[in-house]
Amino acid sequence: MNYKNKLFKLPQNRVWRTYLGGRVLDELIGKGDPRDGHFPEDWIGSVTAARNPNSQGKNEGISKVQIGGQELLFTDLIALDPDYFLGTDHVARFGQQPMVLVKLLDSAVRLHFQVHPTAEFARAYLNSSSGKAEAYYILNVREGVEDAYVYLGFQRPPNRQELRRCIEEQDIVTMKSFFDKIKVKPGDTLFIPGGIPHAIGGGIFMVEIMEPSDLVFRFEFERAGYTLPDSARFMNRSLDFCLDVCDFDPKPESIVRGEYMFEPELEVTYGKTAHRYLLIGAQTTPCCQIRKSVIKGVVERQESTFFIGVITAGSCVLKTDEIAIEFKTFDKFFCPAGLGIYTIEADEEVQIIECFPPAKDMAEGYVID
């Protein structure tokens, strides 16, 4: 099986979730009668299994890829040659785990109020090598949604006892009073560390980049007519245990916009019409790196590690010595660490979000046990 000198186009990998959305994802694949339902996410280049009360199978969440006329699980593709696909340094540190999970997320409704553990908490108490810090790149907002927003951190924090009471009584009105709506627009980049209570507003289409886990403490139990079973609320622990996950420090909007929202930082110029920008880097998190390339013309590149790419505007052709693949808006691909030189050709401007794993020089203290 010839897998070298190739880029891998990634098909949709829809995953069941507790909230509603996915109409835009249906439209992207030309599905007849596109509609919102319980498959609002497309997990991209994933080796992470979903934790679902209504599991669609033991491999739900794990991506598939076509190679040589065969369909392989992404885990099996990596196992063919981990050093080639992920890089020798990465494999020495993390094994065959890419350490980054990328999604397209299409919300029709506001998601549940929730919080994810930090990596340190997950390693200490949840038998997991990863927490679930996450980043958002806002792609679009649905027609009719005038003020797209997220909730990010408590602007008016409750004390532990008050939050516990609100959760037990499902006092959603009081829960909302702990937050302000943080308005977002296409092109915004946000980072949500583990421990920060949050919720994504309805009508948002985004790229979500996170640590590779599905650990979540949801403290709101019902959304859009669906009530969470007990197993989907507290990570199979107690409420008191989950309250230890929460960051109760106040996060006024000035702090949110100053510390958790980012402007692109020019990193590389290939010419007058081709640039690469850093969106999320080492100064923000050891969990991942996120870049945005804006290219018109022809650019030749070679990476030092693998990445997962999402075409967010325009179209292009990606070429190696052996293969040329056309990509259009919202297509996705995997670029192996050992690929070598490749070119991006775009007659008109193309924009690509590029999701990288922890870099060697920024992963100190961030290892799998």
For tokens 């491999």, name the residue.
Answer: 59
Residues 171 and 221: beta-carbon distance below 8 Å: no
Q: What SS3 state is found at 351?
A: strand
pLDDT, tens only, 112-167: 999 999 999 999 999 988 899 999 999 999 999 989 999 999 999 999 999 999 99
Predicted TM-score (pTM) of the model is 0.94
Position 105, amino acid: L
Q: Work out the average pLDDT over 306-317.
A: 98
SS (H, E, C) 140-188: EECCCCCCCEEEECCCCCCCHHHHHHHHHHCCHHHHHHCCCCEECCCCC
Per the prediction, the chain carries an average pLDDT of 93
Would strands 149-152 and 226-227 be described as parallel, antiparallel, or unpaired?
A: unpaired
Q: What is the pLDDT of residue 56?
A: 59
Give the pLDDT band (50/70/90) at residue 366: very low
Q: Work out the average pLDDT over 56-73.
A: 87
Please state, as a whole number, how many other Cβ atoms lie within 10 Å of the Cβ of residue 344.
21
pLDDT, tens only, 183-238: 999 999 999 999 999 999 999 999 999 999 889 999 999 998 999 999 899 999 99
- Indicate whether 300 pLDDT > 50: yes
Residues 309 and 290: beta-carbon distance below 8 Å: no
Task: Look at residues 80, 85, 78 and name the one whose alpha carbon lies nearest to residue 5.
Answer: 85
- Indicate whether 263 pLDDT > 60: yes
pLDDT, tens only, 88-118: 999 999 999 999 999 999 999 999 999 999 9
| DSSP line for 266-298 | EEEEEETTEEEEEEE-TTT-SS-EEEEEEEEEE
pLDDT, tens only, 23-46: 999 999 999 999 999 999 999 999
| DSSP line for 19-58 | S-B-HHHHHHTT-SS---BB--EEEES--PPP--TT-S-T
- Indicate whether 170 pLDDT > 80: yes
- Indicate whether 57 pLDDT > 80: no
Residues 148 and 183: beta-carbon distance below 8 Å: yes
